Amino acid sequence: MVIECKHVWNYISEYLDGTLPEETRNTVQRHLEHCEICSAILDSTRNIIILTADDHVFELPVGFSERLHARIDLELMAT
């Protein structure tokens, strides 16, 4: 089966997660082999997910843990 780019885009997320049914996965795979636009979309999406998940992107505010645990200590003392 041959599919259009637009349809391939709908599968990108599940393709990355490896949750597509085998047949769909193969169809998408075949499309990706010859479509440089869809390949670039897939690669950039994967790349962006990896960068976003990096521990240095989303960090707790400075002193967050200290303030939190101090507050919890007060609560524990009250109980």
The distance of closest approach from Cβ of residue 2 to other proteins in the complex, given in angstroms and rounded to an integer, is 19
Binding mask 40-69 toward other proteins (x if CB under 8 A, else -) reads: xx-xxx-xxxxxxxxxxxx-xx--xx-xxx
Check binding of 30 to other proteins (CB under 8 A): no
Q: Exposed, middle or buried by CB within 10 Å (0-12, 13-18, 19+), for 8?
A: buried
Q: Which two tokens stand for residue 13?
A: 């997320």
| Size, binding site for other proteins by CB under 8 A | 40
Is residue 3 within 8 Å of 28, Cβ to Cβ? yes
State how far the Cα of 9 lies from the Cα of 18, in Å rounded to an integer: 15
**Using CB under 8 A as the criterion, which residues of the chain lie in contact with other proteins when the complex forms?**
6, 9-10, 12-14, 16, 19, 36-37, 39-41, 43-45, 47-58, 60-61, 64-65, 67-69, 71-72, 75-76, 79
